[in-house]
Amino acid sequence: MLLDVREPWEFELARIEGSTLIPMSQLEDRYTELDPGSETVVICHHGNRSSYVTKALKHAGFEKVLNLEGDLDAYSSVNESVPRY
């Protein structure tokens, strides 16, 4: 699962196709929507929010959680269909 933890306005500007939006500010109320047994890759704009969320999910018992290195900003430089902002 690709978990995007940015804000909805950011998600509208640019996103990785197939990712699921749960803003970091809503994670505490919505983490039960996630499967703790599935591999989850956390995405944000530059890496601060996704790093925090990755640690929080691991603390909550998620074992297969990864932080996308370079996050969306870096991904947009290798995939032209995702605009930089």
pLDDT digits (tens, 9 = 90+) for 5-30: 999 999 999 999 999 999 999 999 99
> What CATH number should be reported for the domain whose range is 2-78?
3.40.250.10
Give the per-residue pLDDT at 31. 86
DSSP readout, 7-70?
-HHHHHH---TT-EE--GGGHHHHGGGS-TTS-EEEE-SSSHHHHHHHHHHHHTT-SSEEE-TT
Residue 79, pLDDT score: 92
**Structure token pair of residue 19:** 């990712």
Q: Is the dihedral of CA 52, 40, 23, 73 positive or negative?
A: positive
pLDDT value at position 43?
A: 97
Percent of the chain whose predicted confidence (pLDDT) is above 90: 94
pTM for the full model?
Answer: 0.92
Domain boundaries, the chain: 2-78
